[in-house]
Amino acid sequence: MHKPSKDKHFIKQPWFDGGPKAMKQFIAENLQYPQAALVQRLEGTVTVRFDIDHKGDVVDAKTIGHALGFGCDEEAIRLVKSMKFMVDKPRGLRVIYHKTIQVHFKLPQVVDTNQVTFNYVTINTPAAKEDEQKPNSSTYSYTINIG
């Protein structure tokens, strides 16, 4: 007679719906780079320790280690608090889970505002003569410097 197998873990850890890849995408889409950090051209990593309640909500978050400053610490906490986790009901217990995450602040690619690029696409209609060899389409890129 075969006995049903027991779970390896008495209490299962919470997880972000969609896994780590979805969590990275959530962070990338919702991270708002602080204006003060942009002005200072500040990059770095903020480590946030947070607590997840039995419902999957982040109930407490604080930075640990070296503070980055210029609004990055506050933004990392705001971002982590907006996350929602999936939690299995741990046998009727109300468990608080402790997790740590690193939020990376990397400056966005700077676009030169003095340079404007226009792309034109021209499509040639088939030629009346068979011997003319014209390409079906070609792309031209123009750069115009203003100022």
In order along its 147 residues, the chain shows pLDDT tens digits of 667 666 677 788 999 999 999 999 999 999 999 999 999 999 999 999 999 999 999 999 999 999 999 999 999 999 999 999 999 886 778 899 999 999 999 998 865 555 544 444 434 444 444 444 444 444 444 444 444
| Structural element, H or E, at residue 144 | strand 137-145
| DSSP codes joined into one string, 21-74 | HHHHHHHHHH----HHHHHHT--EEEEEEEEE-TTSBEEEEEEESS---TTHHH
pTM: 0.69
Is 7 among the domain residues?
A: no
CA angle 10, 103, 19 (to 5 degrees): 45
Is 78 among the domain residues?
A: yes
Q: Is the same domain home to 40 and 94? A: yes
Task: Give pLDDT, residue 120.
Answer: 47
CA 92 to chain CA centroid, nearest Å: 34
Is 3 among the domain residues?
A: no
Q: Give the span between the Cα atoms of 138 and 121, in whole angstroms.
A: 6
User: What's the number of domains the chain is made of?
Assistant: 2
* Residue 140 belongs to domain spanning: 115-145
Q: Is the same domain home to 39 and 98? A: yes
Is 28 among the domain residues?
A: yes
Is 2 among the domain residues?
A: no
